[in-house]
Structure formats: structure tokens, C-alpha cells
Amino acid sequence: MSCSTDKLKQGWYLLKTKNREEVRAQENLEALGFEAYCPLIFGKAVQVPLFPSYIFIRLGIEGEPPYHKIRSTRGILHIVRFNRMNHKLNESGRLPKNQAASLLPSPIPNGDQIIDQIEAITWLQNGADPEEKPSNLRFQSGETVLYDNPLFRHLETTFIKGVNIDRGIVLIKFIESMRTDDGSEERKVVAERELNVPLKDLHKVAEEA
């Protein structure tokens, strides 16, 4: 089934990944322009996923890639569905046609709160106090940054805030340039989008000059 993300309810969804490919799957999704999250805790000298073979993705946001691209992303097996009964009814031909939208994946109930709780758990597991997590590390709120992602590298990006030790929220602006009648250039913001991104992929603009 193919559909676009504008038909999905906005929220966090659960993805099943291949064994030991959680981080790679997250990186591949982020390279496509999705917002993904793989909670990590410190194991024996390395970080390991808090939930082996599962990661989270936030969907239903305007401007993100088509939902069907998730299925072909390396490392991803499938999206976890919480509406299996509707699929069984559909397979048996008993689902009314006007309820076809119910076959779409459903977000995790209270997903934002659950993700916040998971972040707190990872901080505790990693020996930090979740109430003391920094609002940012290297960047200041409102600072223009470069997001080192092929899809967004050329776009105007502003740092909003840090959300944990290695991730932060940025605002990406899609700007259209037009020539006015007098020959000057006019820049117009045609869309904006907030993304939760790895801090390692952000760079100060001055450093890139």
C-alpha cells in the first residue's frame, strides 16, 4: 500500500529493524529527511540500543518524504501496527470501504510523553540527571547553523534548542528567490519545518567559511 505522510496522523511511530542495525536504520531514515530516534545506553565500552531491533520515527509532518520510502530503507523491516484487527477484517473482506483509512499505521498513544520518558530513562541509565540535561551544547538558540545532510545542507537552518546530550531541534526554512521588476532579488519563505537532528551533524557557519 502506498500513501503519503499527509494522510497519517502526526505523532511517533514504532519501527521494527533488522538485528543490530538500529543505528544504521536511524541514520538512513535521517538521510532521507525523516525524524528518527534510537535511544542508546552505555554498554561495555560502547553504546547499545535501549530497545534492540526497534526505533522510533515521527510522521505526519508537512513536507517530509512519502511514507512508502520507509519500507525500502536499509535496516528497516516494517512499521509496527496497532490496528491488526482492521487488517484482519480487510483480509476477510469484512471491512467497510469507507473505513479504508483505518488500515494506515497508527501513532503511539501519548507518543511525545513516552519519548520524553524514554529520554529520561536513557539519561538515568547513562549516569546523568534528566532534570539537569543541557538545553544546548555548542549552539545558542537562534544561531544560524549548517545541517550536514544532503537534503538540507543548502537550506537556511536555525538552532532552536538541545533535547539531550547528542540531539537538538532546528528550524529549516525553504526560501524561494524571485527577481522584482526593478531587478533586485526578493527572498520569500515558502515553508518551515522543525527537525530533531543529531548535534554531530550541525556546524557553526563561521567554521564552514
Residue with cell 547553523: 145
Higher-confidence residue of 103 and 140: namely 140
User: For 134-208, CATH number?
Assistant: 2.30.30
Question: 173: Cβ–Cβ under 8 A, 6 or more apart, which residues?
Answer: 155, 156, 157, 158, 189, 191, 192
**What kind and span of H or E run contains 25?**
helix 22-32
Domain with CATH 3.30.70.940 in the chain: 5-130
How do strand 11-17 and strand 54-59 relate by DSSP bridges?
Answer: antiparallel
Instruction: Provide, rounded to the nearest whole percent, the portion of the chain with pLDDT above 90.
Output: 23
Q: Which pLDDT tens digit goes with each residue over 183-192?
A: 777 888 888 8
Q: Please name which of 87, 83, 32, 20 lies closest in space to residue 57, comparing C-alpha atoms.
A: 32
pLDDT at 1: 39
pLDDT at 49: 93
pLDDT at 38: 92
Mean pLDDT of the chain: 80
Higher-confidence residue of 87 and 126: namely 126
Model confidence at 26: pLDDT above 90: yes
Cell of 114: 513516552
What is the average per-residue pLDDT within 185-207? 82
pLDDT at 134: 47
Q: Does domain 5-130 sit in CATH 3.30.70.940?
A: yes
Higher-confidence residue of 71 and 89: namely 71
Give the whole-angstrom CA distance, residue 198 versus residue 200: 5
What is the average per-residue pLDDT within 183-206? 83
Q: Is the Cβ–Cβ distance between 56 and 36 less than 8 Å?
A: yes
Angle at 66 between CA 61 and CA 72, to 5 degrees: 125
pTM: 0.63
CB burial of 135-162 (b: ≥16 within 10 Å; e: otherwise) equals ebeebeeebebbbebeebeeebbbbbeb
